[in-house]
């Protein structure tokens, strides 16, 4: 395990970036995003006009791997794409970012796709057709287990079969690799999976279902007593370290019952597609390098806000030099 680096409460975010060098393995999905823009998102039964469709590289796990690699982490991607032009697009995007693809296999199925509709408020709806992502099974993970064992941090989400993600978590736990789970898109997972998770990252809507006692994350996050209630609910699930994200309202970091609010960075958002993945990929890269969870979250807030200013997921992600240019001479003071 990489030793933890404790940074001072007042620090420049560029100094966090200087620490990023660790080994990250991401096991999961890759999708071609069929993206179009509308003035408003359609209601059930409603037809709206949209822009021409753009095909962009996406998929939660592929996005997360790309952002982690752009920040300087050494990233391996374990997943599957089809032998088609969408698969070529995804492999090219990951390779350009510096992601190692020796564990990305070709499937007999078509590459996964996602239909992404974005409105004028930068909100989106997404429908996924998994395709080759269904090949990321327990058997496939067993064949590529060394990629998990050799990482400092493992990143998982739920766009591929749960059995495969759970198998990866078991390998990681047995080998001392830190397990970070993005509980998205939400589905029920075995209790064992949550016990194997070292850090859970989840947005407010995804957290509402698994919490015991009908705790409303949005309401609970407003004050200290509610935040403690959230921490207690997660503890009952076996989660002692978590980040709950609230979009433009920031994030709540929970560690061993202690809660800390990290405010959002205000920006002129044009498309929030993939911002959550930029956040998760940043946390993966930082924690793989020994940066503490709270400081990783502070950096992730800024990186994901940059992603919101561009269109698409991976197409909007900034690399280390671009982020440093934006952070130059900016000193951030954080309240405890």
Mean pLDDT calculated for residue range 248-273 = 79
Q: Is 72 within the bounds of a domain?
A: yes
Q: Is 143 within the bounds of a domain?
A: yes
* CATH code (residue 239): 3.40.1190.20
- Position with higher pLDDT, 107 vs 6: 107
CA-CA-CA-CA torsion sign (299, 255, 193, 172): positive
Residue 75 has pLDDT above 90, yes or no: yes
Q: Is 118 within the bounds of a domain?
A: no
Residue 6: per-residue pLDDT:
46
Residue 69 has pLDDT above 90, yes or no: yes
Q: Is 13 within the bounds of a domain?
A: no
What does pTM read for this prediction?
0.89
- Position with higher pLDDT, 59 vs 304: 59
Q: Partners of 27 in the beta sheet? A: 78, 156
Q: How confident is the model at residue 56 (pLDDT cuts 50, 70, 90)?
A: very high
Region for 170 from its dihedrals, namely left if φ exceeds 0, alpha if ψ lies in -120 to 50, beta otherwise: alpha
Q: How confident is the model at residue 8 (pLDDT cuts 50, 70, 90)?
A: very low
Residue 21: per-residue pLDDT:
94
Q: Are the CB atoms for 136 and 78 separated by under 8 Å?
A: yes
Which residue range forms the structural domain that includes residue 318?
18-30+60-111+133-330
Q: Are the CB atoms for 300 and 282 separated by under 8 Å?
A: yes
Q: Is 43 within the bounds of a domain?
A: no
Please name the residue that has the structure tokens 């280390």. Answer: 320
If DSSP states are collapsed to H, E and C, what string results for the chain?
CCCCECCCCEECHHHHHHCCCCEEEEECCCEEEEEEEECCCCCCCCCCCECCCEEEEECHHHHHHHHHHHCCCEEEEEEEEECCHHHHHHHHHHHHHCCECCCEEEECCCCEEEEEEECCCCCEEEEEECHHHHHCCHHHHHHCHHHHHCCCEEEECCCCCHHHHHHHHHHHHHHCCEEEEECCCCCCCCHHHHHHCCEEEEEHHHHHCCCHHHCCHHHHCCCHHHHHHHHHHHHHCCCCEEEEECHHHCEEEEECCEEEEECCCCCCCCCCCCHHHHHHHHHHHHHHCCECHHHHHHHHHHHHHHHCCCCCCHHHCCCHHHHHHHHCCCCEECCC
Q: How confident is the model at residue 285 (pLDDT cuts 50, 70, 90)?
A: very high
Q: How confident is the model at residue 324 (pLDDT cuts 50, 70, 90)?
A: confident
Q: Is 4 within the bounds of a domain?
A: no
Residue 12: per-residue pLDDT:
67
Q: Look at residues 49, 111, 54, 42 and name the one whose alpha carbon lies nearest to residue 79.
A: 111
Q: Is 45 within the bounds of a domain?
A: no
CA distance 25 to 253: 23
Residue 335: per-residue pLDDT:
35
Least confident of 48-62, 123-137, 313-327: 313-327
Q: How confident is the model at residue 262 (pLDDT cuts 50, 70, 90)?
A: confident
CA distance 317 to 101: 19
Q: How confident is the model at residue 193 (pLDDT cuts 50, 70, 90)?
A: very high
Angle between helix axes 60-70 and 275-288 (nearest 10 degrees) is: 50
- Position with higher pLDDT, 68 vs 307: 68
pLDDT in tens, 27-47: 999 999 999 999 999 999 999
- Position with higher pLDDT, 215 vs 130: 130
Q: Is 42 within the bounds of a domain?
A: no
**Number of domains forming the structure of the chain:** 1
């Amino acid at each position: 395990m990489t030793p933890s680096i404790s940074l001072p409460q007042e620090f420049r975010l560029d100094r966090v970036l200087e620490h990023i060098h660790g080994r990250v393995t991401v096991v999961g999905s890759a999708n071609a995003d069929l993206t179009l823009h509308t003035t408003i998102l359609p209601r059930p039964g409603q037809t709206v006009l949209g822009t021409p469709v753009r095909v962009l590289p996406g998929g939660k796990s592929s996005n997360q791997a790309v952002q982690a690699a752009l920040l300087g982490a050494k990233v391996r991607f374990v997943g599957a794409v089809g032998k088609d032009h969408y698969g070529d697009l995804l492999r090219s995007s990951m390779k350009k970012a510096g992601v190692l693809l020796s564990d990305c296999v070709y499937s007999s199925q078509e590459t996964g796709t996602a239909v992404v509709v974005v409105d004028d408020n930068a909100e989106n709806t997404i429908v996924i057709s998994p395709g080759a992502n269904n090949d990321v099974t327990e058997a496939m993970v067993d064949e590529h287990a060394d990629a998990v064992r050799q990482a400092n941090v493992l990143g998982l989400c739920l766009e591929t079969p749960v059995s495969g993600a759970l198998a990866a978590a078991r390998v990681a736990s047995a080998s001392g690799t830190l397990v970070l789970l993005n509980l998205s898109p939400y589905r029920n997972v075995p209790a064992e999976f949550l016990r194997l998770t070292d850090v859970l990252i989840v947005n407010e809507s995804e957290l509402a279902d698994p919490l015991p006692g009908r705790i409303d994350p949005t309401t609970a996050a407003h004050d200290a007593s509610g935040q403690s209630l959230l921490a207690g609910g997660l503890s009952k699930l076996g989660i002692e370290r978590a980040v709950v994200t609230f979009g433009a309202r920031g994030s709540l970091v929970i560690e061993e019952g202690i809660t800390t609010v990290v405010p959002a960075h205000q920006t002129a958002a044009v498309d929030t597609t993939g911002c959550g993945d930029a956040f998760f990929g940043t946390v993966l890269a930082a924690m793989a390098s020994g940066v503490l969870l709270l400081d990783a979250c502070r950096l992730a807030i800024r990186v994901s806000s940059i992603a919101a200013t561009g269109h698409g997921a991976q197409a909007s992600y900034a690399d280390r030099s671009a982020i440093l240019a934006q952070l130059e001479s900016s000193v951030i003071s954080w309240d405890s």
